[in-house]
Amino acid sequence: MKPEVQPNKIVVLSGAGLSAESGLPTFRDANGLWNNFSLEEVATPQGWAANPEAVLAFYNERRLSAYQAAPNAAHQAIAALDAAYDVVIITQNVDGLHERAGSRNVIHLHGQLAWARGTSPLPKRYRIDAAPVSLGQLCEDGTQLRPNVVWFGEDVQHMDEARQHVASAARVLVVGTSLSVFPAASLVKAARGRAQKVINSLAMKRVPFGFTFLPGKATSIVPALVQTWLEQAR
Ligand code: NAD
């Protein structure tokens, strides 16, 4: 059964483009990570099995860059919505910039760089911030530590909860995602017909049904939209 739409609820679904202006490369744009690294080698269980040292080195670099980056005006504007709305952020990003901008309610679909975990089925997780992980560094259960991120071919976290949130939102903002990584991209389909639905990115191959496309950089589009929504809440 579909949940009831909550008039004061906003769901933000974010992707790598939101953090591009914080200096963190996206995956698929001209300067995207996949132009410089092979997805199969650094972001799959097979890549990890073949060369864990290279995978750890890749994520050690990503973790340090994310730690050194700062939230931009779009992250900050999204955080300001908490003052007037019930906001749930569902992010594909692993950089932690939503929390550092002050957002309180963030669901991480693809994990977080600032955490490491063991490689057993029920591993412990450790907050490591910017610290590198090296080969031979073990979890308490004796297994090798790895980045606490979801690789291609692994289960995305919190999908059911995320879908329920999208389905009960009166406003949905999708920002900085090419909607090409599944199942995260399928969440837009859960948005309700009567919800106000907006999508911002530089370009979109196909705008999801019912969404209004606002092309442009997140740091100019998102603060203006948030301003309007905050005025409407008064
Ligand atoms: P993607 O690279 O596939 O697409 C990026 C999208 O952002 C594109 O549609 C592009 O037009 C848009 N974009 C680029 N710059 C923008 C800007 N300044 N303002 C607004 N939009 C902009 O990214 P995705 O859809 O998030 O891909 C999914 C995967 O990327 C996720 O699995 C995520 O974990 C991973 N990722 C995360 C980070 C991060 O945490 N910062 C960085 C790289 C990749």
Give the pLDDT confidence score for residue 35 in this predicted structure. Answer: 63
Interhelix angle 218-233/73-80, nearest 10 degrees: 10
Q: What is the mean pLDDT of the chain?
A: 95
Question: pTM here?
Answer: 0.95
Ligand 1 contacts CB of residue 90 (under 6 A): no
**What's the pLDDT tens digit per position in 112-147?**
999 999 999 889 999 999 999 999 999 999 999 999
Q: How much is the average pLDDT of 97-112? A: 98
CATH of 26-68+113-149, one of 3.30.1600.10, 3.40.50.2000, 3.40.50.2030, 3.10.20.740: 3.30.1600.10
Q: What phi, psi does 104 have (nearest 5°)? A: -95, -30
What's the one-letter identity of residue 53? E
Ligand 1 contacts CB of residue 71 (under 6 A): no
Q: What phi, psi does 230 have (nearest 5°)? A: -65, -40
Q: Kindly state the tokens that stand for 94.
A: 């692993």
Instruction: Identify which of 39, 82, 75 has the alpha carbon closest to the alpha carbon of residue 58.
Output: 39
Catalytic residue among 75, 98, 110, 165: 110
Q: How much is the average pLDDT of 4-11? A: 97
- 1-24+71-110+155-234 folds as Rossmann fold (3.40.50)
Rounded to whole angstroms, the Cα distance separating 218 from 74 reads 6
CA of 154 to the centre of ligand 1 (A): 19
CB 9 within 8 A of CB 205: no
Give the pLDDT confidence score for residue 33 in this predicted structure. Answer: 67
Q: What is the percent of the chain where pLDDT is above 90?
A: 88
Asked if 108 is an active-site residue, the reply is: no
**What's the pLDDT tens digit per position in 27-39?**
766 666 666 678 8
